[in-house]
Amino acid sequence: MDPAKDSQKIELSVIIPMYNEAENARATIDAVEDVLKELGCQYEIVPVNDGSQDETLKVLEEIARENRHVQVVSYPANRGRGMALRAGFNEARGEFLVTMDADLSYSPQYIKEMFRLLRNNEADIVVASPYMPGGGLKDVPLKRGVVSRVGNLLLKWIFPGKLHTYTGIFRGYRRVVVQGMLLESNGKEIHLEIIARATGLGYRIKEIPAVLESRKKGSSKFRFGSTVVSHLIFAFLHRPIVLFGAFGGFITLSGVVLGFYVIYLHFHHALSQSRPLFSLIVLLILGGVQILSIGFIAILIGALRRELLKIERELRLLPKDIAHGK
């Protein structure tokens, strides 16, 4: 790292994961810097080259030689957005952090409002949301728009906090928030992991309306199948009560309804002894109750997990010499 850069006290770091973004890299960094100059604070831009196979790294290194505010992070193999963000979090020095896409699908102008809310201590995390009132989509492919909107509606049902947008990368953070988290995700599910941990730790999350636009250059990195599957798996692992509760409740209710049906048949002298309905009713009710019990156990495990997250945060935020017993 450049000693001159390291001596500066950075207030705001903008982290931009990049994979095969040679066409967008310079324009994106220029657009972001134009906004950061207006803020009047010490800043840095941290593009993270996530194992690009085109000229992305070469372009970024050229920019960094020309611009002392640009700090490039790079590694050779493509490992996913989550890994890129984690690498950026580790290297960024700002008191406040903003993460965003490399394709300018959101205007960098939203950084101003994120920075204001974080600086004024009105929020710990600020999320740019196209799905809240005032936000929207512009020229986004229909398939991507539908999948994203439906997915966020489902996540709103699963996750606490009742946000409108859970999956977007364009966010602002107080540094202490991500510094206190032991993040593990390598893919796009990192956005859910951060929200899950943040809500468990009681951090304040605020949304601002934003317009999501289609990229102008380069190819989209959105992959329908892998994105949907990874998000759903993470969501149900985080809130198993949703899966077990819904499934167990349905089975139990089916057994109860069938029981009332048998009672109806009995009083109308239409019950056939050859039908194994009684056994089916017992199996449905007992099976449903057992599945519901797993869900309730999951609630207790979730409460324990939240307490462990708090302990983890405190340990990670301890000064290194104290944490190592020195």
- Alpha-carbon span 207 to 171, nearest angstrom: 9
- Alpha-carbon span 171 to 110, nearest angstrom: 10
Q: What is the CATH number of the domain that holds 153?
A: 3.90.550.10
Residue 57, CA atoms < 13 Å, CB-side half-sphere: 12
Residue 226 and residue 260 in one domain: no
Residue 18 has phi, psi (to 5 degrees) of: -135, 130
Domain stop point among 203, 236, 269 = 236
**CB of 118 closer than 8 Å to CB of 208:** no
Residue 1 binned pLDDT confidence (cut-offs 50, 70, 90): very low
Boundaries of domain holding 319: 240-323
Residue 280 binned pLDDT confidence (cut-offs 50, 70, 90): confident
Domain stop point among 194, 220, 236 = 236
Residue 138 and residue 263 in one domain: no
- Alpha-carbon span 243 to 109, nearest angstrom: 39
Mean pLDDT lowest among 8-12, 184-188, 228-232 = 228-232
Q: What is the pLDDT of residues 125-160, one digit of tens each?
A: 999 999 999 999 998 888 778 878 888 887 777 776
Residue 224 and residue 253 in one domain: no
Residue 172 and residue 278 in one domain: no
- Alpha-carbon span 302 to 86, nearest angstrom: 24
- Widest Cα–Cα separation across the chain: 92
Look at the chain and report how many structural domains it folds into. 2
Q: What is the mean pLDDT of residues 65-82?
A: 95
- Alpha-carbon span 192 to 211, nearest angstrom: 20
Residue 302 and residue 212 in one domain: no
Burial level of 258, CB count in 10 A (0-12/13-18/19+)? middle
Percent of the chain at pLDDT above 90? Answer: 48
Domain stop point among 236, 257, 284 = 236
